[in-house]
Amino acid sequence: MLENKTNPTHSKSTGLPRKRFYRARAHSNPLSDSHFPVPVSPSHVDYSTHYPQHFSTSDQAGSCKKIQFADIGCGFGGLLISLSTLFPETLMIGMELRDKVTEYVKERILALRVANPGQYQNISVVRTNSMKYIPNFFEKAQLSKMFFLFPDPHFKEKNHRRRVISPFLLDEYAYALQVGGIIYTITDVEELGDWMKACLDNHPMFEALPSEELEADPVTKLLSSATEEGQKVDRNGGQTFLAVYRRLAPSL
Amino acid sequence: MEDTPMEYEETNKDTEVAPALIAVHPTQNSVAVAIGSDLRVFDLLGGWAVSLVDDSGGSLHKDSIRAIRYGASGKLFVSAGDDKLVKIWSTESWRCISTVCSEKRVTAVAISKDGSYVCFADKFGVVWVVEVEGFDGSQPSPNKKAAPMLSHYCSIITSLEFSPDGRFFVSADRDFKIRVTVFPRKPLDGAHEIQSFSLGHTEFVSCLAFVCTQEYPQGFLVSGSGDSTVRLWDISSGSLLDTCDIREKAGPLEFKGIEEECCAAVTDLCTILDSTLVAVAVQSLQGIILLRCDLSARTLNVAKVVSIKGDTFIPTSLATSVSSGLLWMVTGASNLGDFQSPLARVRVVSDFMETGPDPTVLEDDETPGGEKLLGKLQGRVSIDEKVFLTAAEALKTSMSKLLIKKQYSTEKREFRKRGRNDKKLKQ
């Protein structure tokens, strides 16, 4: 038909992928055994496929750069794309468990790179289970920001262990974050908001960011405005619950 | 389509085969063997079979024991397993001084170097800690509740170990991961500070041990895995120092008549104390492999293969004591079908000199404790040859069912997703 032959799933006018071809279930079981490839260790993460412009063979200068921002459960990638232009020198990665959604974000980034030469070279996406494989991707203290935006609420008590913010998983996030690094969480579910706050409050290696710092941080505004999930909550006039915490050095 | 309920039933039955385990008192006062739900202890000082006394309110273990261990001082002994009970014993009276209930099946145990905490891991990847307070061995303390300390996200934890200086706590899981955690002053509040992850194995990690000498008192970690390698690690940075592939030494794995593609898993590791030798038990090997660890060069190499003549003796568990220079081995399986009693066979290897004669496998009459010990620990003195092969096969199936991830073809995966709404929309 009239559709672009090479990319029938992409919009003709913008070249961006269209969401209707990448619909996926809203939930994915983080407990099931994964069958996708996982890097053996952080040194096995292939940066050149994720950031070809920064890690081309001729350019040695950028090759020591490491990923600094991680968007855990990045969904359709709205936050990554906003952050990309806000922090053009920082490498960031989105991690998403649903294969089709990851595929969409991948296509979206590629299309943005084509449409805006030189831009969006610092963002990428990977399909993985970040509740299991954070240490396979990041070295100790590698990250300066981690994002957990509108995570799956898992209301039932027996499923609380599937929540991405939980007392024991915070140990791993604290390991991947450098001292002073910031963890951003937001949800439209009050119960989950309280839970995430409580988990972070009770963890000895995190402290809440003071409100003036929170207001001064340009990222704060993006949490609710940049993501697809946040825009949806906004459209429906819903409330959001924010918890932003800083990684502390452990007290001995 | 192929996943009939019967297949699941079989799976469950197979995983219930537990390997025989062995532990030796640090100064070889006693030896313990666990087979199925049976815990057998022989007192080597007195030369008699120990009868266990459990008046802590519970009974003895009711299901397969999966982990046994002596404390570093030799005063405590811990046993735990599929019946979700962790039993802490005094090694003087062999009374159970405390029974801790776990929510899930227990897969590994460890005792802190000062003997004040017992840690155990459950099948959902949570490590729990319980305080052994004011213990004098005479009085049973009230049964305590354990506190969760750390977690490997829903992965079966296969081994727990304290570093020689007691500063770090190491846990290994079936997701190829080894986590090194700073052991806190108040472990009951949780262990949150991760020192490092030791990543490099490409299959489940099955066992951990520390090699330490006077020059390197902090020690180095060695780990065995289902990927047929033993690896040497620096735990403070998590860096991989050396990898020793034991596949060639283990030989091709003949199993059910078919040579399998998958590799022979390392089932247990044991460091020969005051030396840099590591004894390795491998799923298919009739004997043990001795590795030499060069701590200044940070290398790990095969020193020798000690084969065992006679029975088809493939050790399932290894143990040694500080002083004796003997390596104790056991092979066996808890469940060998309807008409056979569980198998347990104990052998001992001596002479691990740096120079001098090769290590020798002791005959039954040379084994400390002699026939009396074997009678207690094995349950019988002589064993039918055929049982060994059955046991080895059953254990291998059970271990791979438990720890190796199932591989489905893409078609099969897609087929299983056929009912999902997002799949239906496509058509």
Q: Read off the pLDDT of residues B69-100 as tens digits, 9 standing for 90 and up.
A: 999 999 999 999 999 999 999 999 999 888 99
Residue B392 and residue B310 share a domain: yes
CATH of the domain at B169: 2.130.10.10
For residue A99, the chain B residue with the least C-alpha distance is: B422
**B326, pLDDT greater than 60:** yes
Q: Is A43 on the interface with B (CB under 8 A)?
A: no
Residue where one domain finishes, among candidates B200, B225, B249: B200
Q: Do A33 and B405 touch (CB under 8 A)?
A: yes
Average pLDDT over residues A174-184: 97
Residues of A in contact with B413 (CB under 8 A): 35
Residue where one domain finishes, among candidates B166, B183, B200: B200
**What are the pLDDT digits (tens) for A156-165?**
988 888 899 9
Catalytic residue, from A59, A152, A188, A201: name it. A152
Residue B219 and residue B178 share a domain: no
- The answer to whether residue B29 sits within a structural domain is no
Active site residue A152: yes
DSSP string, B175-232: TSEEEEEE--SSGGG----EEEEEE--SS-EEEEEEE--SS-TT-EEEEEETTSEEEE
Q: Which two tokens stand for residue A249?
A: 């050095």
Q: Do B176 and A40 touch (CB under 8 A)?
A: yes
Q: Do A41 and B199 touch (CB under 8 A)?
A: yes
Out of B176, B194, B406, name the one closest to residue A171 (CB): B194
- The answer to whether residue B130 sits within a structural domain is yes
Structural domain harbouring B124 = 52-200
State which amino acid sits at residue B140.
P
Residue B99 and residue B116 share a domain: yes
Residue B384 and residue B268 share a domain: yes
SS3 of residue A102 by DSSP: helix
Residue B223 and residue B168 share a domain: no
Residue where one domain finishes, among candidates B181, B200, B219: B200
Q: Which two tokens stand for residue A133?
A: 């494989």
Residue B211 and residue B195 share a domain: no
Residue B246 and residue B214 share a domain: yes
What number does CATH give the domain A66-247? Answer: 3.40.50.150
Chain B: give the shortest CA distance to residue A88, in Å.
30
Report d(CA B2, CA A21) in Å as an integer. Answer: 31
Number of domains into which chain B is organized:
2
Mean pLDDT lowest for which of A202-211, B171-180, B337-346? B337-346
- The answer to whether residue B80 sits within a structural domain is yes
Residue B301 and residue B277 share a domain: yes
State which amino acid sits at residue B122.
D
Contacts of B412 (CB under 8 A, 6+ apart): none
A33, A130 Cβ separation under 8 angstroms? no
Residues of A in contact with B192 (CB under 8 A): 170-171, 174, 203-205, 250
pLDDT number for residue A60: 55
Residues of B in contact with A25 (CB under 8 A): 420-422
Q: Which two tokens stand for residue B19?
A: 């390997």
Report d(CA A123, CA A120) in Å as an integer. Answer: 6
- The answer to whether residue B424 sits within a structural domain is no
Q: Do B153 and A132 touch (CB under 8 A)?
A: yes
pLDDT number for residue B251: 61
**What are the pLDDT digits (tens) for B378-398?**
887 777 777 888 888 888 888
pLDDT number for residue A216: 94
For residue B421, the chain A residue with the least C-alpha distance is: A25
A243 bridge partner residues? A185
Q: Which of the pair, A87 or B380, is modelled with greater confidence?
A: A87
For residue B251, what are the CA distances in angstroms to B184, B225, B228, B290, B388?
43, 16, 11, 15, 18
**B49, pLDDT greater than 80:** yes
pLDDT number for residue B7: 41
Residue B210 and residue B181 share a domain: no
Residue B286 and residue B386 share a domain: yes
Q: Smallest Cα–Cα separation from B178: which of B127, B238, B229, B111? A: B238
Which of A32, A43, A171 to mutate: most B Cβ within 10 Å?
A: A171
